[in-house]
Structure 1
Amino acid sequence: MEMLGSSSTIWTFIFALPLVLLWIVYRKSKFRYFSDLGVPGPTPSLFNGNYDELMSSGKGSWLVVTDWIKKYGPVFGYYRGGPSRILMVADHEMLKTILIKDFAHFSDRTIMTSSRKRLPVSFRGNLTVLTGDDWKRVRSTLSPTFTAKKMKMMSPKINNMIDILLSIVEEKCAANEVTDIYGLFQGLTLDVIGSCAFAMEVNCQRNPKDIFLENTRALFRNANNLFIRIIQMFPEFNFLIGPIMLLVAPNFKRGRILTSNLRQTIELRRAQMQAGSATNHADMIQLMLEASENKEGGTAEDGKNGHGEVQKKYLTEEEMIGNSFVFLLAGFETTANCLGFTAYLLAKYPEIQQRLYEEIVELFGHTEKVDYEQAQKAAYLEMVIEESLRLFPPVTSFVTRVASETVNVNGQIVPEGTGIEVPVWYLQHDPAVWDQPYEFVPERFSEENKPSINPMSYMPFGAGPRNCIGMRFALLEVKIAFIRILKRYRLDTCEMSEPEIQLQQSTATINPRNGVFVRLSRR
């Protein structure tokens, strides 16, 4: 029996060894992709590609990318996780061609973790992963959610949530407490998303233990976890790994909880709509429900697809769930970051805060609530926010497109299937473009200076047809919040304020590592 067991071990080794060697040869061939094309870039490892250098080097990935650009030039290739090939592009003219001029060749986003069909339902149908005519249909269906008219209708809900924020700030101010205002902003943005997008009654500002808030925060804290990394490292085995990850990965469990909440909200609103009692809602859920009833229809107003056919405006159940989920995540994290970083900068630069306060008093001295049209009048506030977004962009980079076919872009051959990454942090801190790139100078975005800014050097919300669909909504929330806060309170640095804010990266976003501590005082 002992000899039989030993024999079977030997035969297993004999059969497995060629398979392992074949896999190594296959893997190495994948990592020769850019070198065979003569494209420069960092040397990948057999298992991780360039992941370890990018994400585990002890410095922010945005700084690693900056070092790579200095070493290899504005266009180079690397492997983000396993053999997933990415062409990093920091050349302005090439970016303009990819994102705008030749959009037809780069209209789809690349998926870094798995094929779309193996993604959890909470991600599968959203705008970031949809391709071709499906993306065009869903984008055109959702775009009316963010028109000026809808923004004006949502303004009262934003003001109501900011009323709660101001009451909390008043309590902190009365007690002369040092405040982590970033934590307050996280509660605010989730309350706003819950109210404006989904008509959900959440209480994240008053209840830091709110399950909705805790689950959403946890999703970001654990975004770059071992499970996701394994899927990225071994995409050839995703047909085996993917289903297991969906069952056991903590983030997918949290995603299922949030998805279940969203599904219940959609079902409740559908029932109300069918009963004729939900027709006056001005939120994303209502628009999606109305669109989901239009599958059989289609008019000239719906638009055309790539084949010249009428593009019907409708959403499947999967698309409703997916876009609700991604709007929740995007609206929570990036808007809270913008609010937090802007508050940090205003406390650090009191002379800029004072000028902004004077503008607010002049425009809104007798106004308590602020609507969409009123918020657009605050020109200096606009400059302050744009400069804050330049210094601390919502994402450090974005893998924005995948080549649908082999294309010659300004002399650079981009083979089919190659992902294109835009290094937003580098572009917005490039000393060749920006004078004193790490200084807070809102006047860069004055009416006189703004026309001279190259659009490809400043893209906090992306560029081209696949730019951020919720940009208007996010900016409206930020503007109303600061108009109402600064009208009543002054933000000052305190003993817990950091001279230089420390950053951390959860996904593609950067966050204040230790919060944003300020002291608020009544004006």
Structure 2
Amino acid sequence: MAPDGLSLVSATIIPKDMFFYNLLKPWLGDGLLLSAGDKWSHHCCLLTPAFHFEILKPYVKIFNKSAGIMHAKWQCLALEGSTHLDMFEHISLMTLDSLQKCVFSFDSNCQESPSEYIAAILELSALVVKWQEQIFLHMDFLYNLTPNGWRFHRACNLVHNFTDAVIQERRRALISGGSHDFLKAKAKAKTLDFIDVLLLAKDEDGKQLSDENIRAEADTFMFEALGKSTPTNGFSECQFPRILTDSVCYETLQLLPTWDDLAQLPFLTMCIKESLRLHPSVTVIARRCTQDVRLPDGRVIPKGSICVISIFGIHHNPSIWPDPEVYNPFRFDPEIPQKRSPLAFIPFSAGPRNCIGQTFAMTEMKVVLALTLLRFRVLPDEEEPRRKPELILRAEGGLRLRVEPLSAGSR
């Protein structure tokens, strides 16, 4: 009952519990993930247009290109005899490649050569996990005295400097070209990115986001997409049996995924949703009550309580999901009426503070999976890996899958 009751309550009454999230403040600042109250509401309104379908449409070409680079690497590795690949490593780099293009219009070639910026983000994600486990170092002044604290702040500075440089360069272009002409030219060329949208965003009073707030939102988006890794984890966990793979291939055979094509991939969508049910990227969310909250059954959660909601537990509840450990995408068949609560499946959280970028994540997963299954046969490794909850639910030791290139005649 708790998730249903809590989802109906304002985000100002049940804000995020900051015990863990405060560790991210030096990196992410007061972005949408960590802000609260009026600031969160204000930023949410300004950021929503960044995920409008007209902005997302051109990103499909970026996903296609980034997936193509990854697949070319797989083809080369297969020719060399390496077919057992750590999907998390490959998909993480592909995701970051796409993100830098969508957020900053920047091509780092990170899938083909090392990138300091990408290395810093990966290092920050790993350090936050270690920091979380060292409860006696949660006070900043103690953590800052440790080698990991030095590394953390060095990586923060590198990431911040990169984002600041992009914002300043774009703002100069906006001023010199005039905001209207700048927007018109980029919209016509379909090259409007996340930074552009934030620079041009204004509230009803004509007030814009500061450069510091724009940096916080850009860094937050990069963290959400890689640090929590919904696209990465959702893709990596799709270990389809052969019959399902064949069905998806049949569905995608005539398509080179475009925005309009994505609506014609119902079975692929079902497979992704079932993967996210079995292995949600974020396993737990926490909220703190700032006043008494009455649940539908009459029970009251007292003010000051921290409510921990297990997404993994909800997704594996046998009273909602029969045989919850079995991979069965037909649970999400749109042709079959569902009696379960809409809050029985919450891989992107729920309520007012759900993931604003979930359409972006689902779009990327659909494009990359469709192209992958047209070009490769993807088979699970011999052993099912153990899952380890860190920032996200990860496969311990990596998620190794076997990929076999498909010839044109076998598709």
Deviation at 1:253, TM superposition (A): 2.7
Aligned partners of 2:70 and 2:94 also within 8 Å: yes
- The corresponding residue for 2:304 is 417
> Aligned-pair distance for 1:224?
2.4
Q: 1:105 to 1:257 in 2, by over 3 A?
A: closer
Cα deviation 1:371-420 (Å, max 9, x = unaligned): 22211210000000000000110111111x32122333343332333322
For the 8 Å contact 2:273–2:332, the answer to whether it is kept is: yes
Quick one: which of 351, 358, 364 aligns to 1:464? Answer: 351
Return the offset for 1:424.
0.4
CA distance in 2, matches of 1:328, 1:247: 21
User: Aligned-pair distance for 1:351?
Assistant: 1.4
Q: CA deviation at 1:249?
A: 4.5
What is residue 485 of structure 1 aligned with on the other side?
372
SS at match of 2:57: helix
Q: Distance in 2 between matches of 1:491 and 1:254?
A: 35
Question: 1:245: how far off?
Answer: 7.5
Structure 1 spans left out of the alignment, 5+ residues: 1-92, 300-311
Say whether residues 1:192 and 2:98 are aligned partners: yes
Amino acid aligned to 2:231: T
Question: Quick check: 1:266 aligned with 2:152?
Answer: no
Counterparts in 2 of 1:313 and 1:336: CA distance versus 1, 3 Å: farther
Give 2:225's aligned residue.
Answer: 331
Q: What TM-score comes out, normalization by structure 2 length? A: 0.88
The change in CA–CA distance for 1:419 and 1:508 in structure 2 (over 3 A counts) is farther
Sort the Cα spacing of 1:402 and 1:318 in 2 relative to 1 into closer, same or farther, 3 A: farther
Alpha-carbon distance in 2 for matches of 1:234, 1:247 = 11
Q: 1:167 to 1:234 in 2, by over 3 A?
A: closer
Write the distance in 1 (CA, Å) between the matches of 2:288 and 2:336: 34
Residue aligned with 1:491, SS: strand
Tell me how far apart the structure 2 counterparts of residues 240 and 427 of structure 1 sit (CA, whole Å).
38
Matched, 1:402 2:312: no
The code of the aligned residue for 1:487 comes to: L
Report the equivalent of 1:352: 244
1:340 equivalenced with 2:236 (yes/no): yes
Could you say which residue in structure 2 is the equivalent of 1:285? 195
Aligned equivalents of 1:341, 1:406: Cα separation in 2? 39
Report if aligned partners of 2:11, 2:353 keep a CA contact under 8 Å in 1.
no
Say which structure, 1 or 2, has more relative contact order (CA 8 Å, 6+ apart): 2
User: 1:75 is matched with which residue?
Assistant: none
CA contact (8 A) 2:378 2:401 kept: no
CA 1:219–1:104: 2 relative to 1, 3 Å: closer
Q: Secondary structure at the match of 2:110?
A: coil
> Cα deviations across residues 107-164 of structure 1 (Å, max 9, x unaligned)?
4222114769x931x3221112211111111011111111111111222222222221
One of 500, 503, 511 as aligned partner of 2:387:
503
What is the RMSD of the two structures over their aligned residues, measured on CA atoms?
Answer: 2.6
Deviation at 1:241, TM superposition (A): 4.4
Q: How far off its partner does 1:445 sit?
A: 0.4
Counterpart of 1:175 in structure 2 is 80
User: Is it true that 1:210 corresponds to 2:115 in the alignment?
Assistant: yes
Aligned mates of 1:432, 1:444 — CA distance in 2: 14
Query: What is the aligned partner in structure 2 of residue 27 from structure 1?
Result: none
How far 1:500 moved relative to its partner? 1.2
Q: By how many angstroms is 1:285 displaced?
A: 0.4
Q: Supply the distance in 2 between the matched residues of 1:462 and 1:111 (Cα, whole angstroms).
A: 16
Map of 2:39 onto structure 1: 134
Cα distance in 1 for residues equivalent to 2:289 and 2:146: 28
Distance in 2 (alpha carbons) for counterparts of 1:223 and 1:450: 42
User: Aligned residue for 2:60?
Assistant: 155
Question: Cα distance 1:313–1:157, how it changes in 2: closer, same or farther (>3 A)?
Answer: farther
TM-score normalised by length of structure 1: 0.70
What residue identity is the alignment partner of 1:124? G
Matched with 1:388 is 275
Structure 2: gaps (5+ residues): none
Aligned counterparts of 1:234 and 1:210: Cα–Cα separation in 2 = 30
Instruction: Provide the aligned length of Structure 1 versus Structure 2.
Output: 394
1:176–1:520 contact (8 Å) kept in structure 2: no
Quote the Cα distance in structure 1 between the aligned partners of 2:328 and 2:269: 12
8 A Cα contact 2:88 2:398, kept in partner: no
Question: Which structure has the greater CA radius of gyration?
Answer: 1
Alignment equivalent of 1:475, drawn from 362, 375, 378 = 362
Secondary structure at 2:385 match in 1:
coil
Q: Aligned in 2, Cα 1:450/1:337: closer, same or farther, shift over 3 Å?
A: farther
Deviation at 1:477, TM superposition (A): 0.6
- Deviation track 1:238-294 (CA, whole Å, cap 9, x = no partner) reads 485477689934333322211211111111111122222853132110011112xx4
Tell me if the contact between 1:145 and 1:287 (Cα under 8 Å) persists in the aligned partners: yes
Seen in structure 2, the aligned counterparts of structure 1 residues 269 and 509 have a Cα distance that, compared at 3 Å, is farther
**C-alpha displacement at 1:326, in angstroms?**
1.5
Q: 1:428: Cα distance to partner?
A: 0.3
- C-alpha distance in structure 1 between counterparts of 2:371 and 2:21, whole Å: 44
How big is the shift at 1:234?
Answer: 8.0
